Every structure is written in structure tokens, then in C-alpha cells.
Amino acid sequence: MGRTTRRDLARTALALGASLAARPLGALMPSPRAPAIRTTQGSPTDRVRVAVMGIRSRGRGLARELARLANVEVATLCDVDRRYDAECVKAVEGAGGATPKIENDVRRALEDPDLDALVIAAPDHWHAPATILAVAAGKHVYVEKPCGHVPREGELLIEAQRRTGKVIHMGNQRRSWPGVNRCIEALHGGIIGRVYLARTWYSNNRGSIGVGKEVEPPEQLDWELWQGPAPRTAYRDNVHPYDWHWFERWGTGEALNNGTHELDVARWGLGVDYPTRVVSTGGRYAYRDDWEFPDTMVLTCEFGAGAAGAAITWEGRSSNRHPVEGWERGILFHGEKGTVLQVGDAYKVFANDAEHTLLEEVGDDRRDQVDVTDPTSPDASLDGVHLQNFVDAVRGQVESTSPIEEAHKSVLLGHLGNIAWRVGRALEIDPSNGRINNDREAEAQWGREYEPGWEPRVP
């Protein structure tokens, strides 16, 4: 196929992984319970000018929500595929924004001295390199999950934030949702006693991506720039615009595409940082095609042991949408006194009795009944709440609800799950920094290979 396989990646990255593992981490890794980042400049009335990178779907939605916020200007739209420009411009204008400038190269977009921030919704292999380019140019960053294509990139972003002082805020939107925050407060307040297990799941009905054929890229796609930091390969007809998620060269699989959200809330609810042990099983069971990650995965992360320990499980079913507890995605928190079911922006509390008595129900996830007359209301767009927090953090008015130190810890769980699945065994983890212990093959996957000249360099 002209692509790097798991075996190739492990072989070519072995020396890199060993050298990175030997590098001191004191200046890179946060201490447990690292505080959220807060800037000191600016005021709530300051106009924030942003560029949005990657505008086909997710980025278009973010651009529209940003244009709805007071004193926020979507100044530039940036995509390597010109087919999406007009629709995204229309979305921004329809939300009340001025007509944005179009740019296909993010490096040129960052040259604008009046630009305050970059919002990144490009493919995963671009997330960390584009973030580092942005903070080096003096911009704040909202980066969609996952914050890195490999674990090492999360460490680089922590270092970049500390050196530059810029806000790096990840798009794990549930960190800003009011109902989720109420649920976490209730868990931490002891509503079900000590919480020791979080069971999470995600299901979908994704079909086969087939076996791709090498063809010429679409006329309006800059394939060279789309690849950016990734090693070069020929264009194939089952990669762009979405199925890159399932190729190791560019994507991170379902565990990080969707699992990140529930894993993040689970870790938050349990009040844990780095795991001590990670096990992952599964495979590409539903179809035989080019998909390189599991479509079916069960991931277990252990935190400590015995009476002081806790665990998170994630069940991912990309090609079977059968619900759990009536929901296609969600979290069950189990504790000494009961269970909490957290779904969307709502939660229910059940007693630990024979009848599983419903004790409390908070919030309502019926999005079709939401009043959207006020576009800045949390009820209108929960994404808008997270974006509002970001721009207010840029102004120095509030703390980021999703600082990069915390984002990296949650994203790392999915990365470790993918690595454990590739090597086919449990990983022993250093709970002080999340690093893999005593497994050279697994450690070699901590970093990745870059196209020469595109290696991310922390300013």
C-alpha cells in the first residue's frame, strides 16, 4: 500500500522510543493535580480573533459556534481542500460573523499579527505539530481531541505551554458541560461513597472502508500539505476526507476518536491521574479491509491496587450499535453505596440494593427539546460553552476547564490501549508520569516518525 505498518513503525521507532524514554521528564510532566492554566492579560470585552484549521465537518461546526460568541471574530478559515471553503464561509456568515479570509496553509495563516488563537480540527497527525507552530507564533490554541498522535506529542505540548504561557485547551467538551460538572461534584462529594470502577462504552454502525486503490488526489486537495508532518505516501481513494481515522499513519482509532470523551470523564470522576497497568483486547472483527485499528476493543486501565485502587474500562464497538443501558455511549460509575449512570449532560443515581432503586435524576439529554433561541446559551450548544471558556481563558478572565496537563493524562489512556493491543500484552505503567516500564517494543511506540523537515520543535 505504500504505507507504514505496525511492524515497520515499531522497527523504525525503536531507537527514537529508547532515546525519548531516557530523556529527563522533570521539566515536561505535570505534578499530580496540576492546576488549570490562567492567563493574566486581557479583559472580558477584548475582541478575540481566531483562525480555524480543518473546516469540512467538525471545524465548520466550531467556526459557526465561535461566530455566535460575543466579541469573537472568525478571521481565517484554513483547509487544504478547497471544496469546503464556501460552505464554511456560509456557516460563519449565517451565525452573524463577518466574511472570513481563506487560507490553505496554516503556516501562512499564523503570520497574521492580529490573530489571537488557532482552533484545530484537522486530522490527528496535525494536532500537536500545528499547536506547537501556533504557540511559537504567539497564538493560543483550541485543539480537538486527541491532543497528540502519539504519547510523546502530549509531553511536547505540556513543555510548549510552560515555555510560552499560552492557553492550550483541548476539545473534550464535557469538561465545560454544566450537567457533567454537577455529576462530578456529586461523585466527589460522596453520593455513592468511594468510587472504584468506571465502565464506559461507545458504539456505532460504521461500515467497511474497503481496500483502497492508488489514484490521483482530487484536484482541489493539496495532498502534500494534507500529509504535512506525516511520512509521505501515495494518495489512495479510501483515506480522505474521513477514513484516515483508521490508518496508523494519520489516525488514532476509535479509542481516541470517540473513547477519549468517556475516558476523560471517567478519570475525572474517579479522581485519578496516571494508571499502573493497562490491558487491551480486540481486533478488526466486523470486516476485512484496510482498517488498521480494532473495530471492537475492551480496554482496562488500573490505578493502584487493593482497597485504594480503582479501574476504568472502555468498550468500543465501531460496527455494532447495540446500546448499553439504553444508550449508545455513556459511563457507569460504581461505588460503595450505589451507581451513577452518566450520559450526555445528565445523570441518574441508583442505590446499591436488590431493586437498584433510582434515587435521583439530574439533567435532560433530550436534545430535540432544547430551546435554541439564545445561541450563546449552554442549552443551545454545549460545544459553545467549551468554546466560551476557551476565549475567556485567552482574555485572562477564567481558568481553562481543559488545560493541556489534564488533557494529556486522559488522551494517554487511549494511546496506551492502542499500544497494549499492538504488542498483545499488559503494560506496566509508572504512575508518576504515565511512562511504560520495561517493555522495549511498547516503549518504541511512544514517539513517531516525521517527514524530514516537519519535526515539531518546542519554542
Residue 253 in contact with residue 294, Cβ under 8 Å?
yes
Q: Which domain holds residue 247?
A: 178-209+243-372+411-443
22: which residues sit within 8 A by CB, 6+ positions away? none
Q: What is the domain-level CATH number for residue 320? A: 3.30.360.10
The pLDDT value given to residue 25: 27
Residues 149 and 247 in one domain: no
Position 308 scores a pLDDT of 85
Q: Rounded to whole angstroms, what are the CA distances from 345 to 61, 148, 176, 195?
A: 19, 26, 10, 20
pLDDT at residue 1, as a whole number: 34
Segments of the chain with pLDDT less than 70: 1-45, 364-381
Both 103 and 205 in one domain: the answer is: no
**6 near 445, Cβ under 8 Å?**
no
**Residue 294 lies inside a defined structural domain of this protein:** yes
**Residues 195, 66 share a domain:** no
Q: Is residue 222 part of a domain?
A: no
User: Do the beta carbons of residue 199 and residue 331 sit within 8 Å?
Assistant: yes
Domain membership flag for residue 227: no
Local structure of 449: helix, strand or coil: coil
Q: Is 151 a member of any domain?
A: yes
Task: Convert the pLDDT of each residue in 125-151 to its tens digit.
Answer: 999 999 999 999 999 999 999 999 999
DSSP string, 198-264: EEEEEE-B--------B-PPPTTB-HHHHHTTSPP---BTTTTTTGGGGSTTT---HHHHTHHHHHH
Is the same domain home to 315 and 437? yes
Residue 282 and residue 393 share a domain: no
At 74, the amino acid letter reads V
- Do residue 140 and residue 267 come from a single domain? no
Domain assignment present for 226 = no
Helix (H, G, I), strand (E, B) or coil at 35: coil
pLDDT value of residue 371: 41
pTM of the predicted model as reported, rounded to 2 decimal places: 0.88
pLDDT score, position 372: 37
DSSP letter for 217, please. Answer: P
What is the pLDDT at residue 6? 41
In a domain, residue 190? The reply is yes
Q: For residue 214, is it within any domain? A: no
- In this structure, the answer to whether residues 195 and 256 fall within a common structural domain is yes
Q: Do residues 263 and 116 share a domain?
A: no
Nearest to 385, CA basis, from 11, 25, 68: 68
Q: In this structure, are 82 and 183 located in the same domain?
A: no
Examine residue 228 and state whether it is found in any structural domain, yes or no.
no
Structural domains counted in the chain: 2
Span 364-423, pLDDT tens digits: 644 444 343 343 343 446 889 999 999 999 999 999 999 999 999 999 999 999 999 999
Same domain, 19 and 54: yes
Same domain, 304 and 332: yes
CATH number at residue 55: 3.40.50.720
User: End-to-end alpha-carbon separation of the chain, Å?
Assistant: 36
Residues 193 and 154 in one domain: no
**CA gap 157, 434 in Å, rounded:** 15
